[in-house]
Amino acid sequence: MERISIGFAAGQVLGLRVEKEALDGLTSALSSTEPWYQLSTDDGTVSIRTDSVVYLRTENPETKVGFGL
């Protein structure tokens, strides 16, 4: 599972947990001409209007413990 944040043109941010394959599919969909994409998430399916996405942020899946760099 990877944690992602999707930012939309109107200012909303959607935080989700997705599998690597779903993230790859979303990344491909953002460069296509299809306006809608069905994203499978940990909690269900989300329909995303791809032409209103401003950014896609992925978090590093490594877990860090403590105060070290």
pLDDT, position 68: 59
pLDDT, position 60: 75
Residues 9-61 have pLDDT tens digits of: 999 999 999 999 999 999 999 999 999 999 999 889 999 999 999 999 998 76
**pTM score of the predicted model:** 0.82
The domain segmentation of the chain, as residue ranges, is 2-58
Q: Which CATH architecture has domain 2-58?
A: Roll (2.30)
In this predicted structure, the answer to whether residue 7 has a pLDDT above a threshold of 60 is yes
In this predicted structure, the answer to whether residue 69 has a pLDDT above a threshold of 70 is no
User: Quick count: other Cβ atoms within 10 Å of Cβ 39?
Assistant: 20
Across the chain, where does the E strand assignment appear? 2-8, 13-18, 36-40, 45-49, 53-58
